[in-house]
Amino acid sequence: MVQQGQIDHLLQETGQIEPPDFLVRQAFLQDYEGEYRDSMESPEGFWEGVASELEWTRRWDSVFQWDYPTFRWFLGAKCNITQNALDRHLTNGNRNKAAFIWLGEDGTERVFTYGRLAQLVNRFANGLRSLGVGKGDRVVIYMPLTPEGAIAMLACARIGAVHSVVYAGFSSGSLRDRILDAQAKVVITADVGYRRGNEVDLLGITERAVEDLDVVQKVVVWRRKGAAKVAASLGGREVDFDALMAESSVECDAEEMDSEDPLYILYTSGTTGRPKGVQHVHGGYMVGTYYHFKNFWDVKDNDVFWCTSDIGWVVGHSYIVYAPLVAGATTIFREGAPDFPHPGAFYEIIEKYGVNVIFTAPTALRMLMRYGEEYPKQYDLRSLRFLTCAGEPLNPEALRWSYEHICGNGEWGHIVDNWWQTETGGPCLGTTATMPVKPGRVGRPMPGAEMDIVDREGQPITEPDKGGLLVIKRPFPHFFRTVFGDPERYARDWNTIPGVYFTGDVALRDADGYYMVVGRADDVLNVAGHRIGSAEVESALVSHPSVAEAAVIGKPDELRGESIKGFVTLRVGNDPSEEMVNALKLHVRNELGPIAVPAEIDFTPTLPKTRSGKIMRRLLKAQELGLDPGDITTLEE
């Protein structure tokens, strides 16, 4: 929930930064205005042109059909995203080009060419087939950020299975809920993950998650520590990842998919306690994410691209795995924290690998900023041309610091923001390589994205810098198709405000058409770029036997953007104490995972409620921030 005070503060920022000449000169997207106009005047022709750059086993009969709120792109077309991500590169000169450069926290480096990656994906795809996985089956992937995780995703896509990656920081309860919702037949996991030198027992978490789930027939375990013994609780359900690879063939024909067949489900937080299974498809998703990889990220053939996200998030799906491969790029990804084992680790990678384009999150930049400029100074960062950010508002301070100290004040690099969400698959707002940067503002609508700011009735707000609700007026190819198993929830996203898709965000637009995205209008929090539903944290809290009622709010946090504060009413017979705070934090960690743990918990005898009994989180927030509770831009009733 956004406060007016936050908006006023942001509007004070003025000066803009011109894009450096070298960046403008070589940008793929030279004529943003013209391209945007084309995409609006003739969306079908525009996207058909992009789709024609890729390979299809059957071409579409028609481009777009809209039966509000459902829609389809490239009707009748047949394809498989892995044919464009892998096979195409075996004959176009990219076979021996590095597709992935994977780095471990301990300095381990593994390079996978397109040729090698295709072999491994095929092997694993055959392995999955041998376990009885086929087209349309759901497979949950609970893997650390490793090549094996990406291979598992691609292997599912290869055989038409629908993957659902669960971020390896989620708890066994969250994993269980997602497996159940997707009715996954197979779960793929690893024995351990690593973060800041610590081992995370992923297998133990998986064992607890699948314990009483009959739906899960097999659990494929990648034992990276090497000790190949079967987990007792899994018994006959465990399959060894490496053995499955070894015994499967390197030849595997891609399953022919309809362009609208599902590619993956990715769960994200909404306003209800239940996570939302956002579903993307093979055809349109491939076309749209590929377009933006070239035209927004501006990655050239010989560039090294580094995306610091994780395969557990949509950014990792679109911009670690799918789009860079479809475009034939070389992508770095790294397990672990950007400041581990030392505060210069991030810069060391840029220097060592000659990284040209980075996709990261403002939280990471704020963390680097905290360590100070003596670290970037120690490294040669001159390869870095374009530093791009998304996931949460990029505050002007972090932007300016990064511009100065990471991008050499525009001498060799440039920094921009872009906005999107799990549902949109790719960016909808952003500052392209040729546009001036306005600190505090994300940028302008991306080609193909018809964006607007409206009031609750759907009436456009045309007055500059007046806050309203950020909406999308028409679906583009990489827009999500439905909420898995809950089409009504999908329809609600298009019906909350008549005639448009409501993103959940509050935004404003200036006279030049630049948008500022201020935050959520609903009860979804954004902690370090990760979306967390207040309702999910509240239900975790009330599932503790000592808790009667709970409410959580987001508080501005210098490093993480927002931090979670919980207000808890205890059941009779329980007293507030430091131990109780710790017990509740631990409980949320066990229920949901470390990212959802409240930074603070206050005990209160009652919680403010509406007459109908709904907890008024906005009042709690206003009180907490010392603001006038009436002065809030919110969708809440």
Contact 289, 263 (CB under 8 A): no
Kindly give, in sequence order, each residue whose CB lies less than 8 Å from that of residue 131, ignoring residues fewer than 6 positions away: 186, 217, 218, 220, 239, 244
Q: Which is nearer to ligand AMP, 56 or 420 (CB)?
A: 420
- Helices and strands, counts by H and E, the chain: 22, 34
At its nearest, how many Å lie between ligand AMP and the CB of residue 556? Answer: 13
3 state DSSP class of 150: helix
* Closest among 60, 47, 46, 483 to 259, alpha carbons compared: 60
Spacing of C-alpha 252 from chain mean position: 29
At its nearest, how many Å lie between ligand AMP and the CB of residue 512? Answer: 18
What b-and-e string marks burial along 497-528, b requiring 16 or more CB atoms within 10 Å of the CB? beebbbbbbbbbbeeeebbbbbbbbbbbbbbb
Residue 505 interacting with ligand AMP (CB under 6 A): yes
In the region spanning residues 286 to 315, those forming contacts with ligand AMP, defined by CB under 6 A, are 314
Q: Which is nearer to ligand AMP, 335 or 392 (CB)?
A: 392
Residue 517 interacting with ligand AMP (CB under 6 A): yes
Q: Which stretch binds ligand AMP (CB under 6 A): 137-145, 322-330, 459-467, 500-508?
A: 500-508
Residue 444 interacting with ligand AMP (CB under 6 A): no
Q: Which stretch binds ligand AMP (CB under 6 A): 65-73, 79-87, 384-392, 571-579?
A: 384-392
Residue 391 interacting with ligand AMP (CB under 6 A): yes
Cα 199 to Cα 203: distance, rounded to the nearest angstrom? 11
In the region spanning residues 116 to 145, those forming contacts with ligand AMP, defined by CB under 6 A, are none
Which of 277, 393, 445, 475 binds ligand AMP (CB under 6 A)? It is 393
At its nearest, how many Å lie between ligand AMP and the CB of residue 505? Answer: 5
Kindly give, in sequence order, each residue whose CB lies less than 8 Å from that of residue 511, ignoring residues fewer than 6 positions away: 464
At its nearest, how many Å lie between ligand AMP and the CB of residue 360? Answer: 12
Given its phi and psi angles, is residue 191 left (phi above 0), alpha (psi -120 to 50 degrees) or beta? Answer: alpha
At its nearest, how many Å lie between ligand AMP and the CB of residue 476? Answer: 16
Q: Which stretch binds ligand AMP (CB under 6 A): 41-49, 210-218, 220-228, 389-397?
A: 389-397
What sign for the dihedral angle of Cα 290, 293, 298, 304?
Answer: negative
What is the length of the chain? 637
Q: Which is nearer to ligand AMP, 248 or 431 (CB)?
A: 431
At its nearest, how many Å lie between ligand AMP and the CB of residue 275? Answer: 11
Number of residues that bind ligand AMP (CB under 6 A): 20
Residues pairing with 219 in the sheet: 187, 238
At its nearest, how many Å lie between ligand AMP and the CB of residue 424? Answer: 8
At its nearest, how many Å lie between ligand AMP and the CB of residue 215? Answer: 26
- 335 — phi, psi (to 5°)? -80, 140
Contact 446, 50 (CB under 8 A): no
- 207 — phi, psi (to 5°)? -55, -45
Which of 146, 356, 360, 422 binds ligand AMP (CB under 6 A)? It is 422
Cα 169 to Cα 549: distance, rounded to the nearest angstrom? 26
Q: Which is nearer to ligand AMP, 133 or 507 (CB)?
A: 507
* Closest among 394, 417, 404 to 372, alpha carbons compared: 404
Residue 363 interacting with ligand AMP (CB under 6 A): no
* Segment (H or E) for 418: strand 414-419
Which of 442, 528, 541, 597 binds ligand AMP (CB under 6 A)? It is 442
Residue 533 interacting with ligand AMP (CB under 6 A): no
At its nearest, how many Å lie between ligand AMP and the CB of residue 425? Answer: 10
Q: Which is nearer to ligand AMP, 219 or 596 (CB)?
A: 596
Which of 3, 39, 126, 268 binds ligand AMP (CB under 6 A)? It is 268
Q: Which is nearer to ligand AMP, 375 or 386 (CB)?
A: 386
Residue 328 interacting with ligand AMP (CB under 6 A): no
3 state DSSP class of 514: coil
Q: Which stretch binds ligand AMP (CB under 6 A): 222-230, 255-263, 281-289, 412-420?
A: 412-420
Residue 387 interacting with ligand AMP (CB under 6 A): no
At its nearest, how many Å lie between ligand AMP and the CB of residue 449? Answer: 13
Residue 485 exposure: Cα atoms within 13 Å on the Cβ side: 15
Contact 82, 326 (CB under 8 A): no
Cα 305 to Cα 578: distance, rounded to the nearest angstrom? 46
Cα 28 to Cα 34: distance, rounded to the nearest angstrom? 13
Binding site for ligand AMP (CB under 6 A): 268, 314, 390-393, 417-422, 442, 503-505, 517, 520, 526, 531
